Amino acid sequence: MKYIKENFIIFLIIVLFASILTAVLFIYYNSDYKADNKNIRIASLSPSITEYIYDIKMDKYLVADTTYCNYPEQAKYKEKIGSFSDINYEMVAKLNINTAIIHSHMAEQKLRLEKMGIKVIVINNNTIDDILSAYDILGDAFNIKNITDERKNEIISKINSIKNNIKKHNKKTAVVSIFRNYGSKVSSITAAGGNNIYNDILNILNLKNPFENLPAYTEVSLESIIASNPDVIFDLYHGRDTTYAYNDWKNIPLNAVNDNKIIILYDTYLSLPGPRIDKIIEKFASEYNRVSND
């Protein structure tokens, strides 16, 4: 009898231990935030990085962001540490930041932050592949691959859906104007060259970028634009008076002007490569289909 009782007690201990272990593992693998994230205090050094943080549900650890971080709405109310080119490092120290997320071109900021003992996570957003890879980097850094893989796959699925719904047109040439003079006849533009999301988008739309062999963002003269004679121009417009946006291109001898295929794009998110990349592609695609049907 004593032997049976002892075995029963051992059995109960084993069952109890197994139940506790199962519960712990269930919580670990189904929780959005792992235990090793609880002491993280994050600073974001750009608007698109802030978008990533909210997109992967790490915003509860976001202590500070930049002056220009205003999306989503909650980002406006975080502590501000200046801009990526003018960081208030005293504020960073005062806020006990221990993790900073930056872009790859911020070498000087990276060095300064690391000297302060802050862990620096570097991501890139030049191309669509870079944007997708950022989810992998952040997933590994915060041990939340369940969340980041899901978001990455959602974006890939949306991009593939956009590709499948693009109307087939004969291949034409297209230029993306990132910035230019406003309120007067176009004299030059900062054009999308190669190795950036806008060149990727043109490829998705089956459009040829005449400047794809140039650096990612290159100032191009009016003479060079006329020489390339694009069939379509996507104009990311940052002027004060959008009423006259089309007038700036008026009377310039271009196919895009003659065929009314100047596409003026006003929305600010179009200049912020990041988690809304699927929406950016969708906007370009819908506008291109619109003028192609005119």
Structure token digits, residue 83: 């801009």
β-pairing, 188-192 vs 82-83, is unpaired
Instruction: Give the number of other Cβ atoms within 10 Å of residue 187's Cβ.
Output: 12
Of 85, 87, 86, 93, nearest to 41 (Cα)? 93
pTM above 0.75, yes or no: yes
Distances (CA, A) of 11 to 20, 22, 23, 24, 30: 14, 16, 18, 20, 28
Please state which of the four CATH numbers 3.10.105.10, 3.40.50.800, 3.40.50.300, 3.40.50.1980 is assigned to the domain occupying 36-161.
3.40.50.1980
Given this chain, do its domains 36-161 and 168-292 carry the same CATH topology?
yes
pLDDT for the residue 107: 94
Q: What is the pLDDT of residues 25-75, one digit of tens each?
A: 444 444 444 435 679 999 999 999 999 999 999 999 999 999 999 999 999
Cα–Cα dist 186/144, whole Å? 47
CATH of 168-292, one of 2.40.390.10, 3.30.365.10, 3.30.465.10, 3.40.50.1980: 3.40.50.1980
- Other Cβ atoms less than 10 A from the Cβ of 210: the count is 18
Per residue in 202-246, pLDDT tens? 999 999 999 999 999 999 999 999 999 999 999 999 876 777 889
End-to-end CA distance of the chain: 92
Residue recorded with tokens 């993280």? 40
Sorted by where each begins, the domain ranges of the chain are 36-161, 168-292
Residue predicted with more confidence, 125 or 24: 125
Question: 3-state SS of the chain: helix, strand, coil percent to 5?
Answer: 50, 20, 30
Average pLDDT of the chain to the nearest whole number: 89
What's the confidence (pLDDT) of residue 7?
Answer: 54
Which pLDDT score, from 0 to 100, does residue 137 have? 98
